[in-house]
Amino acid sequence: MDTAAPPTERPRPIVGENSSDQKFIEIKDFSFYYGEAQALHDLRFDIPEQEVTAFIGPSGCGKSTLLRSINRMNDLIDGIRHDGDIKVNGTSVFDPLTEVISLRKRIGMVFQKSNPFPKSIYENVIYGLRVSGRNKKSELDQIVTESLQGAALWDEVKDRLHESALSLSGGQMQRLCIARAIANQPEVILMDEPCSALDPIATGKIEELIHELKKEFTIVIVTHNMQQAARVSDNTAFFYLGKLIEYSTTETIFFNPADPQTEAYITGRFG
């Protein structure tokens, strides 16, 4: 007698231990939709504090969508919705009491293309503070100094703080955007392909900066550059078609990945 095959469950992603097994950012059964199109499928993993976590995967895999969900940048898009939750430091980013502007100060973002405002270097750094009504010059001076030092830009611009930010090189502009983010003393810095438009020297400076910044901040970076993910991150998540395929320490992912799709992607055999 023929018997019906048992229903098959969708295979769960391989989620190894991250490097410290902390839960600073908790992604809980998170799905995301652009209208009818589901971009993220039931993601569940945790990102540890004060470490660098890289999201990798081919274009359209959902890594930037997830990154932008963490500080609700996707709210600006019509027709989006989500299921599940994302918590940062124990608080849901979707909590109705969460105010989006303050959320984005707690969770800063650096974009693929640097986006300084057409203002002076000084004013760019303190832009967020000015918006929140902080105008005491001595305090702002100190924050500008500390933020530019933190972004490894101080020595290059300390004598021209009041010149236009648009006079800086591409790499300097990107570091200025990082200084602008850290001036708000965020808990998390999200980076969406921060070096894709930079030359190797500027890229090296940003990577050194990321290595320093993780002493104070939790960093999540989206990158198409696998060597960059391997160099700068402690943990790596590989996504494909909106699903988390594998998440583990970066060393595990790049030395002995568990999933054949991860192996194929990182060795260039995918597609």
Query: Nearer Cβ to other proteins, position 133 or 268?
Result: 268
State which of residues 102, 142, 167, 267 lies at the interface with other proteins (CB under 8 A).
Answer: 267
CA proximity to 130, closest of 177, 180, 71, 75? 180
Instruction: For the beta carbon of residue 255, count every other beta carbon within 10 angstroms.
Output: 10
Q: Under 8 Å CB-to-CB from 248, ≥6 apart: which residues?
A: 14, 15, 16, 17, 18, 235, 236, 257, 258
Could you say which residues in the range 219-248 bind other proteins, by CB under 8 A? 226-227, 230
Interaction of residue 255 with other proteins, rule CB under 8 A: yes
Nearest-angstrom CA–CA distance, 1 and 158: 83
The residues, any chain, with a CB within 8 Å of residue 7's CB and separated by 6 or more, are none
- Touching other proteins, residues 16-35 (CB under 8 A): none
User: Residues in contact with other proteins, total (CB under 8 A)?
Assistant: 14
The one among 135, 158, 166, 270 contacting other proteins by CB under 8 A = 270
In the bound complex, what is the minimum distance in angstroms from residue 240's beta carbon to other proteins?
Answer: 14
Q: Whole-number minimum distance, CB 228 to other proteins, in Å?
A: 11
- Cβ proximity of 70 and 25 under 8 Å: yes
CB of 64 to other proteins, least distance (A): 23
CA-CA distances (angstroms) from residue 8 to 11, 38, 86, 177?
9, 21, 28, 47
Our finding on whether 200 is near other proteins (CB under 8 A) is no
The yes or no reply on residue 268 touching other proteins (CB under 8 A) is: yes
Task: Using the rule CB under 8 A, give the single segment among 123-131, 172-180, 213-221, 263-271 that binds other proteins.
Answer: 263-271
Residues that bind other proteins (CB under 8 A): 226-227, 230, 254-257, 263, 266-271
